A and B are shown apart, each in its own frame.
Chain A
């Protein structure tokens, strides 16, 4: 009896050992890994998982919301400060423009077991990044407030405006709507979303000539202004974090925010009543369009070009381990919409899944898009403040963009 018991224990122990080692074909012997990433929970989980397989390699990570400002200078250095950069559709573009990241085809072939084909970002036939999660901005609403006032969950921005006006008229909330309208990157992102929702194109086909000064651009600005009028008057200083705080203090009933932030809104911190009434829905459409006024984003990893092959290999193995990790996906199912095999979408992924179903467009990955984004962020502010007309603001955006694009050699 006893012997058979011992045998069982031994077998199960062996099985356990074997089971875990089947995961980690990743006892990395040498090399140094240094990762630059944005700072939100899902990315922390991802990097932590990669760390679990570092073996005897040196492992460092920098999580920073200022990652965009660091990335290009840090990867331009030779050797590069970071061996890997967790990038997204927009932030991979400057790296591509400056030729700072390396193709991953060989590494994927050698160590990419478990990574799905759909995760691979291929440009001109070469794999440049491996995506692991998807993101978008979508609507959040307070179920209790909408129910009490008999308002249906809004599906279009026109309905969002009507609902917000109704909430304000009821005296329940003074500023019922919130979105990250902070002058600069955030505000520009809201414009991009809304403009795409109107079916607009940023450039004349096949060129880097801007083409936003049109009826769609004007309609976009007018809608942004309407929404801004329903937001806290300090909206030009509010980023994602600030509106999250507004939401948690119960000042807001409708909000456009990143899907990746849903985890922190729905966790146990803060007022339980607000958390319980916080519901997610897909992104809204606008002006009768059928594609949502939102952009789809992926987050994935890229490897620095200016770094030794040994480091690149070690880094790839560790990150690939995370990018094909069913256990991580199961454990952290509510942190993100993972693109990894085995992901079962939970209630917090509704926003992204709806956006994909509604055929939302991905953020435009054009080499000159960053310049347009930058020009938008500063030039449309005066329109929102009521200091200039929509046409003038759009003219300013185009002019500011053109000067920058000329300096960068795009025009």
Chain B
């Protein structure tokens, strides 16, 4: 496609992207550099049905004046980024000097909210993405091999996890693993441990969420791989069969190289999706044991009675950076291939 045609072709999408994605990101970025003004408080008398007390309230007259002058708040630079609830630079330095062993240092650092969330998010990505690719590929191969007559219903059944709303899917599993639920109660019997609870143990909660993630995302990989498998040319496959190649050898040397670009694509999308893991944490009420970066943003915006815009914005920006870092190797590789292809 000539560049000019491409430009006009892309223009509407590009404009929409700038409007709905680019500008909000810029606005979030600006917000992340600001904090609230210093609160002007005053002592007042407060009376309610339970009696009168002297208490503190925000002095609205003075506050509104300051707010009008600088509606964005107080410029804070990278202050929010480096505070304890985010990168915690100062705290980490302190831990480094105070702790005696490296293990203790790691313990202290992973106790900080941002790093706690980062570790869960990365663990989730690390376990879910490859498994999704693998499982999706295996299902696609197997379904491609079954007779055409039952393929339709089987495909439908396979993509069901993707059709089910994430929240509903996780809630169903949540109730099943309850100590009184079908899986939870049976596990207790099997392990002969009446106190076994999938929800109270951190490790088990993580495993549950990761299994749920694989279950939920595999159909996507499957659908894409299945479509790609339809394009594998039959001649080389037949030639390989005549040459006596085993099924594994055919997959390894013909099918995989053919669908390789698609694998990259699915890996990219999966990584991005998984890095933003959020719904299962809410669905499983797993806030206590598993927090992700997206959950931190949500927490800052809604869980407090006060909305922490600066905190949420800073975490958002760092999530974007995180995704960029994660995707970098894949993107660089694709770019290089693109260059050599030209």
Interface residues of A (CB under 8 A from B): 68-69, 72-73, 89-91, 93-94, 96-97, 99, 118-125, 131, 134, 174, 182-185, 206, 232-237, 249, 296, 298, 339, 356, 362, 365-367, 370-371, 373-374, 377-378, 381-382, 385, 387-388, 392, 396, 399-400, 402-404, 406-410
Contact = CB atoms under 8 A, between A and B. Distances in A.
Interface string B30-64: 00000111110110111111110001111010011
B311 interface: yes
Contacts of A237: 174, 199, 284-286, 288
Given A124-B44, A131-B49, A385-B288, A407 B36 contact: yes
A233 B199 contact: yes
A134 B39 contact: no
A69 B84 contact: no
Contacts of B45: 122-125
Contact of A407 (B46, B49, B200, B311): B311
Contact of A370 (B49, B304, B310): B304
Q: Which 9 A-B pairs have the closest CB atoms?
A: A183-B288, A233-B197, A370-B305, A124-B44, A237-B285, A374-B304, A236-B288, A409-B36, A69-B302
Given A366-B55, A371-B304, A234 B197 contact: yes
Given A121-B48, A174-B194, A365-B55, A409 B84 contact: no
Given A233-B200, A236-B200, A367-B57, 7 more contacts: A234-B200, A366-B55, A371-B304, A381-B288, A407-B310, A409-B36, A409-B74
Contact of B308 (A121, A339, A408): A408
A119 B48 CA distance: 7
19 contacts: A96-B58, A122-B45, A125-B45, A174-B194, A184-B287, A233-B179, A234-B199, A236-B285, A236-B289, A367-B39, A367-B57, A370-B304, A371-B304, A378-B287, A399-B84, A404-B306, A407-B76, A408-B39, A409-B38
B178 A234 contact: yes
Interface of B: 35-39, 41-42, 44-51, 55-58, 60, 63-64, 74, 76, 80, 83-85, 91, 111, 113, 174, 178-180, 194-197, 199-200, 202, 284-289, 291, 299, 302-308, 310-311
A182 B285 contact: yes
Contacts of A91: 305
B83 A403 contact: yes
B46 A235 contact: no
B74 A406 contact: no
Contacts of A406: 35, 83
B84 A402 contact: yes
B48 A185 contact: no
B44 A123 contact: yes
A298 B311 contact: no
Contacts of A89: 48
A366 B42 CA distance: 11
Contacts of A404: 85, 304, 306, 308, 311
B199 A236 contact: yes
A367 B85 CA distance: 20
Contacts, number: 167
B60 to A, nearest CB: 4
Given A89-B48, A236-B288, A367-B56, A400 B84 contact: yes
Contact of B306 (A125, A134, A403, A408): A408
B194 to A, nearest CB: 6
The B contact surface, by secondary structure, is loop
A72 B307 contact: yes
Given A233-B195, A236-B289, A407-B308, A185 B56 contact: no
B37 to A, nearest CB: 5
Contacts of A388: 111
Contacts of A403: 83-85
A6 B183 CA distance: 72
B224 to A, nearest CB: 35
Contacts of B194: 174
A401 to B, nearest CB: 10
Nearest to A242: B285
A298 B48 contact: yes
Contacts of B38: 409
A232 B174 CA distance: 15
Contacts of B291: 378
A375 B163 CA distance: 36
A403 B304 CA distance: 14
Contact of B305 (A339, A373, A400): A373
A194 to B, nearest CB: 18
Contact of B35 (A99, A371, A399, A409): A409
Identify the interface centre among B91, B180, B200, B288: most chain A CB within 10 Å of its CB: B288
A94 to B, nearest CB: 4
A348 B172 CA distance: 35
Contacts of A235: 200
A134 B179 contact: no
A160 B57 CA distance: 37
A279 to B, nearest CB: 25
Given A403-B83, A406-B83, A407-B35, A365 B46 contact: yes
Contacts of A370: 304-306
A21 to B, nearest CB: 30
A367 B41 contact: yes
A378 B113 CA distance: 9
A262 to B, nearest CB: 19
A96 B57 contact: yes
Contacts of B80: 407
A394 to B, nearest CB: 13
Identify the interface centre among A236, A365, A370, A409: most chain B CB within 10 Å of its CB: A409
A123 B46 contact: yes
A234 B83 contact: no
Nearest to B108: A392
Contacts of A356: 50
B306 A94 contact: yes
B299 A378 contact: yes
A190 B66 CA distance: 37
A328 to B, nearest CB: 18
B60 A99 contact: yes
A183 B178 contact: no
A208 to B, nearest CB: 8
Contacts of B44: 123-125
B289 A385 contact: yes
A12 to B, nearest CB: 38
B311 A123 contact: no
